[in-house]
Amino acid sequence: MLGEIAEVKSGPSGARLKELGDHPRGLPVITPSDFTANHRVDPRNVRSVPEQERRSLEAYFLRTDDLLVVRQGSLGRLAVIESGQQGWVYGSSCLRVRMKPSAKVMPVYLAAYLSQPHTLERLKGPALSGTIPSFNADALRDLEVAVPNLRQQERIVQTLTDMDEAIAARLAVVERMKALRPSVFEALFEGGFE
């Protein structure tokens, strides 16, 4: 069970984040819209609450390697917190997963495991009914998690990282070719149809 290797905590209520917006020197608040496809947080559009809210939100401070899991709407999307995001907080649509000190689990492995289709299906199974699909911290705590030894976790993470890099490189080539296509057309058109 995930609850045996990690602490799971719901985000603060929406009422506590009512001043969420663009505060130049505010406390950053990560929401699902800040998650990327590769389990990271894109900090460019992260909104914030006024700095004076910091003390009241201390229980929701993030640490490096915490995981955030979307619990409402796009169920199961997640992000691993990086060092530059330590001390930020998370929104009410997220659950924070923090490894227990005794756990022998790599956060990046857990992120990969939780994002697998079979795991997502198990998470969505107990989803609470309503207009917006959701699940709670208890459902995530009760999720069975396969935890191989650290060496195997490292192999899995490295293989998936290599695949992600290869995919990114190929997608970059596709985007470059799409961008070049109009220029190639113009060059061929101006050169005639010989």
Report the mean per-residue pLDDT for the chain.
85
Q: How confident is the model at residue 123 (pLDDT cuts 50, 70, 90)?
A: confident
Residue 102 confidence (pLDDT): 86
Contact present, 49 and 17 (Cβ < 8 Å): yes
pLDDT at 184 over 80: yes
- Bridge partners (DSSP) of residue 23 are none
pTM comes to 0.79
Whether 129 has a pLDDT exceeding 70, the answer reads no
Q: What is the pLDDT of residues 62-92, one digit of tens each?
A: 999 999 998 877 777 899 999 999 999 998 8
DSSP 3-state of 186: helix
- pLDDT at 127 exceeding the cut of 80: no
Query: For position 47, what pLDDT does the model report?
Result: 87
DSSP reduced 3-state for 6: strand
Beta partners for residue 9, in sequence order:
96
Cα 82 from chain centroid (whole Å): 11
Distances in Å between the Cα of 57 and the Cα atoms of 10, 13, 17, 52, 62 are: 12, 11, 9, 10, 11
Q: What is the pLDDT of residue 128?
A: 56
pLDDT tens for each residue of 103-120 = 899 999 999 998 888 887
Q: What is residue 19's predicted lDDT score, i.e. its pLDDT?
A: 67
- The mean pLDDT of 57-64, rounded to a whole number, is 91
Return the higher-pLDDT residue of 191 and 194. Answer: 191
Give the architecture (CATH level 2) of 2-145.
Alpha-Beta Complex (3.90)
